[in-house]
A and B are shown apart, each in its own frame.
Chain A
Amino acid sequence: MNPNPPAITGIGSVTPFGTLAGLIPPSSLETALITAWPTKGPRRAFLVNPFNPASVVPGLKTRRLDRISAWGLVASSLALRDAGIDLQQVDRSRVAVVFATGFGCIELTTSFFQSAFNNGWSGTDPITFPETLANLPAGHVALLHNVRGPNITVSTKHFAAESALVQATSLLRNGQADLAIVIAGDTITQVAYEWYETGNLLSPACYASEPPFESLGFIPSEGVVAMVLEPSSDRTAHSYANLHSGRWAAGGDPCESIRQMLGNTTPTLIIAAGNGAPCATGSSNEAIAKLIAPNAVMLPAQPVALGLTDAGALLHMVLALSKRPASGQALMLATSGDSGFAALQLELP
């Protein structure tokens, strides 16, 4: 066990549940009809309601930014507020930003291609171009908060958010940062949605007017969740959970690797995560959980977080923590058939 594990001391989110600091109050969530682009018929997804970022973070300017950048700015601000951190009192050169995404700035990338289609390659927009880069959301977060530590964007097939948490933990452990803002999310765009649809990956609930949740396929979702991580011994802050260790891998035997990670501890709670890919089935989560911790209570994966695909782990975790689980050891687990697994060892204070 890590004697000084990073504590999650702040949470901020921009999700279909709304724009929130702290945990997400349990509530039922319905899909919404997609109206942002013409669809072949009624199409549904878990969508973020449009809002003015400046109404949440006064003075925030986001007009030329991709929505994922804007949401990252709002979510990180809410997470810092929730953690009670006054950045004036912090050495900002020691604050890291780690951002996880599956698609990155796909909206402005689409716009850039559209401008090339309309005007030719010599007529593209110089303001849009840099905003297409996957690391710009993290760069904007650094700029807004004037935080100058390591600034990293990661994308990992199926497990981007888990890998971001592990990378942030490593930066803290190795003394490369004193505090880390971890952010994960994606937006739904026409390109992504139609790609899912063409690939036959969507749940029938995406097409129905009154959808029941189906296990076959997934319902695309969008949003960004931010967390503040700091060494648990640094100050007497409230901690949602302590992150003892984490692993992700593209293959191999998950049980052996997870047992090695857990050491002598036995989790009493399994938080099932994963994405919406057909290979990321709940049954393999359950099978592995039974092998590792047969008596543990299992919280099922949440459809809204499954729909965030590679970047959904932070939302999975927040939704699980929002159910106010008992204190003790927890294992957050995501499997993806033969494409690997991710596991996070959590201590719930």
Chain B
Amino acid sequence: MARVAASVGEHLAIHGPTCAVSAACASGGTAIGLAANMLLDGFVPMALAGGSDPLCPFTMSGFNSLQSLDPEPCRPFDQNRKGLNIGEAGAVLVLETLASARLRHANVLAVLKGWAMTNDASHPTAPQKQGIGLADCIGRAIEMAGCSVDDIGYVNAHGTGTPLNDIAETNAYELAFRERRRPIPVSSTKSYFGHCLGSAGSIEAAITISAIRSGTIFPTLRLTDPIESAMLDWVKGEVRHEPVPLAMSTSVGFGGSNSVLIFGSPESIES
């Protein structure tokens, strides 16, 4: 596992700390959170953080043995969802302190305003049904970001398309956003890329940043009959174009892992 991070460091001749992070399918998001901690501590002024997972027989066979795969294109959050599609990808963010970015006149794409990691401590593989662990994680990230539940303009959900994940995640959002004044827009972009496992969190972080920068929210594909929820605004059908000053990316993984990242526009730091 360590070899991947070490190889990146060797390739780029980076002499700072290298570290591989495992939190199963929440690895990408967790890696970004830990890198942000290192910036916060003054440990490093800049970090490369993300995830990478290739498609291979090992993972295909494993998820097949768990009967988690949908042979058809997946339908996250749909009442008729049957499972996930495995994908493969790698995505890395360059994180640096605002001071470092301003010093070198960098083009700041977004600001990581809040992040958190928690564990369900409920089951080795299944998420906690009421979504308490993920809701707690969302609450901590919102507290760190110094914003309210009403400020979040979009949630890029973990949304795998498995029966157990999607209902637990829906429950988590209902719990975390229960005091919100209007439904929270939610979509799963795993309906485009499949579930890229360890890299999902970092790819979805990039998509979340893209939503902020372009004011574009991609809908969940094939979502025709969503899980019923008065508090969630399922983004489906058409691409939405609206300002998204703050957006959240959530990740969940085997072993009970949860991670949440809240990104804001560069302008949000001034406010």
By a beta-carbon cutoff of 8 Å, the part of chain A in contact with chain B is 92-93, 97, 101-102, 104, 112-113, 116, 121-122, 124-126, 129-136, 138-140, 142-143, 145-157, 160, 163, 166-167, 170-171, 173-174, 176, 247-252, 310, 340
Contacts and interface: CB of A to CB of B under 8 A. Distances in A.
B118 A136 contact: no
Q: Considering residues B3, B57, B119, which has the most beta carbons from chain A within 10 angstroms of its beta carbon?
A: B119
Interface in B37-61: 37-38, 40-41, 43, 57-58, 60-61
Contacts of B22: 104, 133-135, 153-155
Interface residues of B, number: 54
Interface string B64-106: 1111000000000000000000000000000000000000000
A265 B10 CA distance: 32
A139 B38 CA distance: 23
Given A116-B57, A133-B255, A170-B38, A250 B18 contact: yes
B19 interface: yes
Contacts of B174: none
Interface stretch (B120-128, B148-156, B205-213, B224-232): B120-128
B239 interface: no
B159 interface: no
Nearest to A162: B17
Nearest 8 A/B pairs, CB to CB: A139-B255, A251-B15, A129-B62, A151-B119, A150-B117, A155-B1, A252-B15, A126-B65
6 contacts: A101-B1, A122-B64, A133-B24, A166-B43, A167-B19, A170-B40
Contacts of A93: 118, 136
Given A126-B67, A163-B17, A252-B15, A150 B41 contact: no
Q: Considering residues B19, B60, B66, which has the most beta carbons from chain A within 10 angstroms of its beta carbon?
A: B19
Contacts, number: 175
B254 interface: yes
B174 to A, nearest CB: 19
Contacts of B121: 92, 142-143, 145-148
Q: Considering residues A116, A148, A171, which has the most beta carbons from chain B within 10 angstroms of its beta carbon?
A: A148
Given A142-B256, A152-B23, A153-B21, A134 B61 contact: no
A341 to B, nearest CB: 10
Contacts of A116: 57-58, 61
A242 B233 CA distance: 49
A137 to B, nearest CB: 9
Interface in B218-264: 253-257
B123 A155 contact: no
Contacts of B133: 148
A96 to B, nearest CB: 8
Given A104-B22, A149-B118, A154-B21, A250 B256 contact: no
Contacts of A153: 21-23
Given A121-B57, A174-B37, A135 B257 contact: yes
A154 B1 CA distance: 9
Given A134-B1, A250-B18, A149 B119 contact: yes
B119 A150 contact: yes
B146 interface: no
Contacts of A121: 57, 60-61, 64
Given A124-B62, A163-B19, A250-B17, A152 B30 contact: yes
Contacts of A340: 15
Nearest to B255: A139
Contacts of A126: 62, 65-67
Contacts of A147: 119, 121
A43 B63 CA distance: 37
Given A152-B30, A157-B6, A170-B40, 10 more contacts: A126-B65, A129-B62, A136-B254, A138-B255, A139-B124, A140-B255, A152-B23, A160-B2, A174-B41, A250-B9
Contacts of B255: 130, 133, 135-136, 138-140, 142, 151
B173 to A, nearest CB: 18
A125 B65 contact: yes
Given A121-B61, A129-B65, A148 B15 contact: no
Contacts of B40: 170, 174
A142 B119 contact: yes
B203 interface: no
B20 interface: yes
A176 B256 contact: no
Contacts of A310: 2
A171 B37 contact: yes
Contacts of B123: 143
B23 A148 contact: no
Nearest to A156: B19
Q: Considering residues A93, A125, A133, A310, which has the most beta carbons from chain B within 10 angstroms of its beta carbon?
A: A133
B124 A129 contact: no
